[in-house]
Amino acid sequence: MSSSPKTPDSKGGAAGSATKSLMENLLGLLRIKIKKGVNLAVRDVRTSDPYCVVKMGKTQKLKTRVIKKDINPEWNEDLTLSVSDPSLPVKLTVYDHDTFSMDDKMGDAEFDIKPFVEALKINLDGLPSGTVITRVLPCRTNCLAEESRVVWQDGKVVQDMILRLRNVECGEVELQLQWIELPGTSFTCNCYQELIYGRRKNRSSPPSASTVHLRVSSHQGLALSAAIDESSSSMAET
């Protein structure tokens, strides 16, 4: 069963203070759909009973249900985190459930939500469904198994990603990010930009949209600078 974000400590301790600070600076909610695991490690006799645990910061910890005897489980389960600091990574750990002993780890992965949150700042109204906003490439500093795209889909910003698990012999987890905006929390700008993290790319801008010229670097897979050009009709990254 899924659990919800921890509530403040009734005794007003450190955990309660941290949760209170999180709520005061809340930007919105991050819905993580844990889709499935692929070729997960075997921890029992020829199989495993896997479940996922998702953590962000010190106060939030959520988990999926256990799926019995399946190394290719399909959870299709939504876990929702409160986001106050987008610079915090999200950590995912897969465990094998054991009834009579400690649950065994089946690998872990981390992912960065900053590219996803940056895409939320862009005014995407009027753009066609399926427009790619951001591309994040796999590199040594992330756990991506392949390119991950942030996409404007049916009026929502979503990001699909496949995470390759670390500290284990094999296994990947597929998930999707979606943002839930709360009343009074909005951060958009009036420009379109396709950010590509980690390599050069040419991309035409949508009609009637501003163009953003990006200088990108493979350094940690992050774009280093950007300048808005209102008159240009195409985007060139240098």
Nearest CA-CA partner of 109 in 48, 36, 54, 47: 54
**Long-range contacts: 97-102, Cβ < 8 Å, 24+?**
97/49, 97/50, 97/51, 97/66, 98/44, 98/49
Here the contacts of 225-232 (C-beta below 8 Å, separation 24 or greater) are 226/193, 226/195, 228/191, 232/205
Which residue type sits at 121?
A: K
- Output the pLDDT for position 17: 62
Question: Is pLDDT above 50 for 64?
Answer: yes
Q: How far apart are CA 49 and CA 98, in angstroms?
A: 8
Model confidence at 118, pLDDT cuts 50, 70, 90, reads very high
pLDDT, position 15:
58
Q: Which residues neighbour 156 within 8 Å (Cβ) at sequence distance 6 or greater?
A: 178, 179
Residue 19 is predicted with a pLDDT of: 58
Question: Residue 9: pLDDT above 60?
Answer: no
What was the pLDDT predicted at 7?
38
What is the structure's pLDDT at 40?
98
Do 185 and 167 form a contact (C-beta atoms < 8 A)?
no
CA distance 113 to 22: 16
Do residues 162 and 174 make contact, with C-beta atoms less than 8 angstroms apart?
Answer: yes
The pair of structure tokens assigned to 119 is: 């895409």
Per-residue pLDDT band for 123 (boundaries 50, 70, 90) equals confident
Give one DSSP letter per residue of 158-187, joined into a string: EEEEEEEPBSSSS-EEEEEEEEEPPTT---
Distance between CA atoms of residues 149 and 159, nearest Å: 6
DSSP for residue 7: P
